[in-house]
Amino acid sequence: MSSTAVQAPIFPSFAQVFQGLVGQIGQLRQMAPTPTLPEATRVRRAIATLIAETNADEAVWLESCIRCGQCTSACHYFQATGDTKYAPLRKMNLYRRVYQREIGPFRWWYRLVTRPIGLKDLEALQELVYDSCSECGRCTMVCPMGIDIASLVHHQRSALVAAELVPPELAALQMEQKQRGTVFGASAEALHRMVDTIRERAGVAIPLDKARAEVMVLSSAVDLVGNGNGLLATARVMNHLGVDWTICSDGFESANFGLLSGDMALWKRQVDPIVAAAKRIGAKTLVIAECGHAYPALRWNPTLKGEDLPFEMMYMSEYLGRQAKAGRLRLRPLQGRVTYHDPCKTGRRGGAFDEPRAVLRAMQADFVELPANKEFNWCCGGGAGIFLLERATRLRDESFKIKMRQVDMTGAEAVVVSCASCRLNFEAGRHKNQWNKRVESLVELVAAHLLDDAPQGAQSPIEEAAA
């Protein structure tokens, strides 16, 4: 298999980017804001948030658990530790108490027989809804009652935002994005600098801020603060396809620390400029960078409910897959055996299973599935911001071993991922365990295998073989 670092040596390898980011992440704890509100106010705000976010779905979910325990064995944090504290049904308990005391039909009774929620309850909740839940949805998928535990966890993250109880690393980035609109300092100026660097040193043009374009592409902080290879690869692929594309410097950031922290106002504030820019330029397609949580942040943004959007939102792997299926992506064969890790948010939640596999087929890859794949894929352990949390290190490391064992069973030399957060977590696991597998980004792999002289619209090798 060709190495992406060899194809684009002007930027550091992803392993080096990872080392640099670890240093920056280590400083986040010192930058986190400290609580300012009185204890009673924090508790009141948390309860009010849960009441406000409880609609018919949430009420039914909170009423209908039959304690069957099927969700327990589906959760990687339970599987990795054997500790029933991390059972998904326990992650709903506080929300259920609020529901029973404040909303449910027997609230008068529950107020008599249960104790009120206090700050200590909310502090204990922090580990359950941040450190030990990546909102991967695997428990949701197996629940016979159709309870969306991951969504209930997310509502509780919102409650902890109101109670000023976001874990420090996430709180620091939430604050930065709220106050300055950046993540790790990745500003519009940083985007301009990276575009200039890519043009000058790699000779690859990125059409920035076009007035009109068919396709609008997002970038991400990871691309701009270190991994220039990600943006360079994206540009190479888009230019190879010959599409009318652009990146808008007033709406380019995929990362959304509103979604990750549970801060709904920030979630919306990050999405609004992207939607406005896509409308302004008349985009037909919005391509979301390889940033797993950015997909739900845009696709299922509750603040967009009811709004007709004149463009289609697509994750990078979906976009690449459609191009591969249409024969527009002409690729050299990929050497060596690979497997693919489905990011939870784009896979189990989004259903983008066939497209990344179509890309690997177009590279004639010796591809082998993980033992549990597609909707049954296990989270890598670092999703939904957990990769950033120092306190979650043990949980993250232990659950990554599940993934490592599964990759080892395939005999693959490399695991392909299509999410920067998964990739960082894989890189951390690889480093800690002296693991001999390579971790490849799908878009970087595609860029490294482009047949640049291929005529547009021709059949892909896999289709020619099938014809």
Residue 65 CB, shortest distance to ligand SF4, in Å, is 3
CA–CA distance, 121 with 113 (Å, rounded to integer) = 17
User: Would you say 91 or 97 has its CB closer to ligand SF4?
Assistant: 91
Residue 29 CB, shortest distance to ligand SF4, in Å, is 23
Residues 6 or more apart whose Cβ sits within 8 Å of residue 115: none
User: Would you say 37 or 66 has its CB closer to ligand SF4?
Assistant: 66
Residue 399 CB, shortest distance to ligand SF4, in Å, is 9
User: Would you say 138 or 361 has its CB closer to ligand SF4?
Assistant: 138
Residue 162 CB, shortest distance to ligand SF4, in Å, is 21
Residue 105 CB, shortest distance to ligand SF4, in Å, is 20
Is residue 417 within 8 A of residue 342, CB to CB? The reply is no
User: Would you say 150 or 186 has its CB closer to ligand SF4?
Assistant: 150
User: Would you say 72 or 335 has its CB closer to ligand SF4?
Assistant: 72
Residue 321 CB, shortest distance to ligand SF4, in Å, is 25
- Which 3-state string (H, E, C) describes the chain? CCCHHHHCCCCCCHHHHHHHHHHHHHHHHHHCCCCCCCHHHHHHHHHHHHHHCCCHHHHHHHHCCCCCCHHHHHCHHHHHHCCHHHCHHHHHHHHHHHHHHHCCCCHHHHHHHCCCCCHHHHHHHHHHHHHCCCCCCHHHHHCCCCCCHHHHHHHHHHHHHHCCCCCHHHHHHHHHHHHHCCCCCCCHHHHHHHHHHHHHHHCCCCCECCCCCCEEECECHHHHHCCHHHHHHHHHHHHHHCCCEEECCCCCECCCHHHHHCCHHHHHHHHHHHHHHHHHCCCCEEEECCCCCHHHHHHCCHHHCCCCCCCEEEEHHHHHHHHHHCCCCCECCCCCEEEECCCCCCCCCCCCCHHHHHHHHHCCCEECCCCCCHHHCCCCCCCCCHHHCHHHHHHHHHHHHHHHHHHHHHCCCEEEECCHHHHHHHHHHHHHCCCCCEEEEHHHHHHHCECCCCCCCCCCHHHHHHC
User: Would you say 157 or 449 has its CB closer to ligand SF4?
Assistant: 157
User: Would you say 85 or 111 has its CB closer to ligand SF4?
Assistant: 85
User: Would you say 150 or 248 has its CB closer to ligand SF4?
Assistant: 150
CA nearest 392: which of 133, 215, 183, 141?
A: 133
Q: Kindly tell me the burial class for residue 80, based on how many C-beta atoms sit within 10 Å of its own C-beta (0-12, 13-18, 19 or more).
A: buried
User: Would you say 128 or 360 has its CB closer to ligand SF4?
Assistant: 128
The residue ranges that bind ligand SF4 (CB under 6 A) are 65-71, 74-75, 77, 88-89, 91, 133-139, 143-145, 147, 149-150, 153, 379
User: Would you say 11 or 95 has its CB closer to ligand SF4?
Assistant: 95
Structure tokens, 14: 């992803």
Residue 419 CB, shortest distance to ligand SF4, in Å, is 15
Residue 74 CB, shortest distance to ligand SF4, in Å, is 5
Residue 431 CB, shortest distance to ligand SF4, in Å, is 23
Residue 86 CB, shortest distance to ligand SF4, in Å, is 7
User: Would you say 158 or 227 has its CB closer to ligand SF4?
Assistant: 158
Residues 6 or more apart whose Cβ sits within 8 Å of residue 147: 61, 64, 65, 71, 92, 140
Residue 190 CB, shortest distance to ligand SF4, in Å, is 32
CA–CA distance, 61 with 64 (Å, rounded to integer) = 5
Residue 296 CB, shortest distance to ligand SF4, in Å, is 13
User: Would you say 143 or 422 has its CB closer to ligand SF4?
Assistant: 143
